[in-house]
Amino acid sequence: DAGVTQSPTHLIKTRGQQVTLRCSPKSGHDTVSWYQQALGQGPQFIFQYYEEEERQRGNFPDRFSGHQFPNYSSELNVNALLLGDSALYLCASSRLGGYNSPLHFGNGTRLTVT
Amino acid sequence: SQELEQSPQSLIVQEGKNLTINCTSSKTLYGLYWYKQKYGEGLIFLMMLQKGGEEKSHEKITAKLDEKKQQSSLHITASQPSHAGIYLCGADINGGATNKLIFGTGTLLAVQP
């Protein structure tokens, strides 16, 4: 049973560029959440997708957008990259309903913006 | 200020020693989750606590939730090098089983053989 998979594992981009990160949820999960983790910090919630729609959003600018596909996989897009966007981006999946379905995380995509 | 505070920020223990990590919330907790993270990797789910007074154990790790104090503790008995890593507590403070978690800044644990 495959867990949450993310691609790519590492990425280097230049300021102003755009990036797309991909995530496949754990089998049986229908909800995908994205988190940003800066060095030495805990993960920060970006947004959550269910039924191909954004359900919840954290305190991130509109440069951060996402998409969920019919097969539940998801993409995170970041436009006009800033140096401060350098971080580990984590995807987590769960079944809608929360408490009995803890988040399962992928290994993340390490984004470096130069 | 941080909504979830973890203490200590880092910890070095001798193999075989016991240790405790604390997580305190400034808001009502609707669910408390403990995760472990190896540097640069994803988070591994350890335990989930939902009700005040709840206590769960897995192997040598025990977690408790004190709802009144809005606090949770993670206790490791007879630590081993395999316990080394970053321990993160996460909490749902919005209610409604949203699974929108906030996280503490983590506790870095090193276990010396």
Check residue A112 and give its pLDDT: 98
Cα A74 vs. chain centroid, distance in angstroms?
A: 8
CB A33 within 8 A of CB B99: yes
Please state, in angstroms and rounded to a whole number, the distance separating the CA atoms of residues B34 and B70.
Answer: 15
B4-107: which CATH topology?
Answer: Immunoglobulin-like (2.60.40)
pLDDT at B1 over 60: no
Domain ranges of chain A: 5-113
Q: Do B42 and A90 touch (CB under 8 A)?
A: yes
User: Residue A31 belongs to what H/E stretch?
Assistant: strand A31-37
Name which of B31, B100, B102 is nearest A99 (Cβ-Cβ). Answer: B31
Q: Which of A99, A106, A10, A109 is nearest to B37 (CA)?
A: A106
Nearest-CA residue of chain B relative to A94?
B99
**B85–chain A Cβ distance below 8 A for any pair:** no
| Chain B residues lying within 8 Å of A96, measured CB to CB | 99
**B93–chain A Cβ distance below 8 A for any pair:** no
Residue with tokens 């998979």: A5
Check residue A74 and give its pLDDT: 98
**A45–chain B Cβ distance below 8 A for any pair:** yes
User: Counting one residue from A and one from B, how many pairs have CB atoms under 8 Å apart?
Assistant: 72
Check residue B98 and give its pLDDT: 74
pLDDT at A108 over 90: yes
Mean pLDDT, rounded, of chain B: 91
Give CA separation, B24 vs A42, B95, B102, in Å: 14, 17, 12
Check residue A97 and give its pLDDT: 64
Residue with tokens 């609707």: B30
Q: Do A33 and B100 touch (CB under 8 A)?
A: yes
pLDDT at A92 over 70: yes
Helix (H, G, I), strand (E, B) or coil at B83: helix
A5-113: which CATH topology?
Answer: Immunoglobulin-like (2.60.40)
* Percent of chain B at pLDDT exceeding 70: 96
Going by pLDDT thresholds of 50, 70 and 90, the confidence category of residue B30 is confident
Which A positions 66-85 lie with beta carbon below 8 A of chain B?
none
pLDDT at B2 over 80: no
Q: How far is A114 from chain B (nearest CA, A)?
A: 19
CB A93 within 8 A of CB A104: yes
Nearest-CA residue of chain A relative to B104?
A42
For residues A91-114, one letter each, b for 16 or more C-beta atoms within 10 angstroms of the residue's C-beta and e for the rest, the string is bbbbbeebeebbbbbbbbbbbebe
Residue-wise pLDDT tens digits, B43-75: 999 999 987 778 999 899 999 999 888 999 999
Name which of A41, A94, A108 is nearest B41 (Cβ-Cβ). Answer: A108
Which pair of tokens denotes residue A105?
Answer: 């995380």
